[in-house]
Each structure stands twice: as structure tokens, then as C-alpha cells.
Amino acid sequence: MPYCEVGKTQNAVDAALNNGIQIYYRTYGHGPIKVLLITGLAGTHDSWGPQIRGLAGTDRANDDETMAVDRESDGANNEVGGIEVCSLDNRGMGRSSVPNKKSDYSTRIMAKDAIALLDHLGWKKAHVFGHSMGAMIACKMAALVPDRILSLALLNVTGGGFECCPKLDRKTLSIAIRFLKAKTPEQRAAVDLDTHYSEEYLEEFVGSDTRRVILYQEYVKGITASGMQSNHGFEGQINACWRHKMTRAEIDLIRSGGFLVSVIHGRQDVIAQINHARRLAEKLQPVARMVGFMGGI
């Protein structure tokens, strides 16, 4: 299985702290254009399925034996101008290591995990796309190594701390309670759908079934494959989100990095409020643009 041993590519101090930490990842497609996808709280590498298919033209991982045979038969010419995508499980989720201490989780630490993965892959530069907590991680990454970022896309991002708290109403309170109580893939899938999508979208028919029915089956399958998140992983990732903050110096490093930033947000996001994303985009001007769309998280 494809793993990056984080400590192997880091300096002595970071390597000592991350000894034994492994980050699970998959790559898709081939070509000179590199894209790193960083998922959000309690998400796994395969949360990006539609985006991976759209970018790489396939959702079959490069380490799949069948894919290797297909590539040999097709030849190398199809790689010209192509895109290679990498998606990972953040520490605390999926097949990556799950440290027991909260202090082993922060967006800065997880940004260094992502940088170690770039080193492991041999990628000098990449387009980086982060979602929710993953967007916080992407911000830290861009501030740490701005010379390795080709572009930065931040989907449903906030500034951390109290900004992670949703606007309290009956719906968000219900979602929070159901999320904390979810003990099975079925329960988790049901609450994830109400978190990620608008009700109108879920109730649209695609053929004879609603999107809710179709997506529910996909979510149950994905959560069953990756497994439910452990308490250590959940508490650690929540701690990372709560402690996240972008300093003025870090904002300035991103602004002077020479790459463009897209801050993308669903107007019907029930968790991350869009006004926080707008505020971040304003701080990142003139290199950032704000993109709002009808949709959820």
C-alpha cells in the first residue's frame, strides 16, 4: 500500500516528533501537471472521487495492477499535458497513523505532513486544493513553502477557532447531535448527506431515484471501506481546527508567493459561514478571488 513515512523527509526536529507517522495516499493519472487534494475533518482520500475523475480522467489509482497494464498497452504519449492527482488521508483518519495526543494535531503539523508527501512523490511544485479543515491545512502549507505552490484553492474555509462554529439553529444543532451519536456507517452517511448538500439537491430525481438514495449508498460504501474515525483521531482533528489561526505574517507570505488563490464557498453551507471566507479572501487581495455558489459544504 502507498504510504509516506513523514519523518524520513523532514529535518531533525520534525523527524523526531513524527517518527513512525505514516500518511496514506493514492495517485491517479499521469502528466506534468500535479494536483494535491487535502480533505476535511473526518474525510478520507476517496472523498474527492468526482474531482479526481474530472481532473485525471479516471478514479482508478496508479498502484492498481490493472491500471499499470493499461498504461503499458496505451503507451506513454497520453501523458503529454496530462494531470497527476494525489489525495491523502490526513493523520487521525482512514489508513494514516492516528496519534493519541491532541498536541500531535495542528493544521501546521498536518501541512508539514503534506509537504513531506510532496517530497516523497518527488513533486517540486503542485496546485493545492483544500476542503474545510483541508483548506486550513492548505493555507498553512502555502505559508510554509510558497515557492512550491502553483495555485491555491480553498473550499469552504474559515479562520479556525470560533469561526469553525456554525450559526446555531434547529437544523445545525440536530446535525451536530446526530454526528456525535453516529456509531455506524449508515448513521454517519445519513448525517453527512444533510451536512454536505442542500435539501433541494438531495431530493432531485436522477432517473428513478433521488440523489439522496444514490449518494447514501455511495457514502455507506466509502465509510465502510475506510472505517469509522477513532475518538483520538476525531478529537485531534477538532483540536487542530479550533487552534487554527493565520497570522498577518503568514497572510503576507501567501500574498507575495506569486500564485493565485481561489476562495470557494457554498452559500448553503450549514457549518462554515461564508462571511468568514469572504474576510479571508479580502485579507489575501489582490491575489485572491471570492467565488460563491449555490450549494452546501
pLDDT the model gives residue 167: 79
* C-alpha pair distances (Å), 226 with each of 8, 94, 190, 216, 287: 25, 5, 16, 15, 37
Is the pLDDT at 121 greater than 70? The verdict is yes
pLDDT the model gives residue 176: 86
Residues 238-264, mean pLDDT to the nearest whole number: 97
Residues 290-296, mean pLDDT to the nearest whole number: 88
pLDDT the model gives residue 77: 39
* C-alpha pair distances (Å), 242 with each of 33, 78, 94, 235: 33, 44, 21, 10
pLDDT the model gives residue 168: 81
Compare 261 and 271 and report the one with higher pLDDT. Answer: 261
pTM: 0.92
pLDDT the model gives residue 70: 53
Q: Which domains does the chain have, with CATH numbers?
A: 3-166+231-293 (3.40.50.1820)
- For 144-180, write each residue's pLDDT tens digit: 999 999 999 999 999 999 898 887 888 888 888 998 8
Share of the chain above pLDDT 70, in %: 95
pLDDT the model gives residue 73: 45
pLDDT the model gives residue 169: 84
Tell me the average pLDDT of the chain.
91
Separation CA 101–CA 149 (nearest Å): 30
- For 12-41, write each residue's pLDDT tens digit: 989 988 989 999 999 999 999 999 999 999
- For 38-77, write each residue's pLDDT tens digit: 999 999 998 999 999 999 999 999 998 555 545 444 444 3
Is the pLDDT at 80 greater than 70? The verdict is no
Neighbours of 9 (CB within 10 A): 17
Share of the chain above pLDDT 90, in %: 75
Cell of 53: 475523475
Is the pLDDT at 1 greater than 80? The verdict is no
Say if strands 3-5 and 22-28 run parallel, antiparallel, or are unpaired: antiparallel
Is the pLDDT at 185 greater than 90? The verdict is yes
Q: Are 140 and 250 in contact (CB under 8 A)?
A: yes
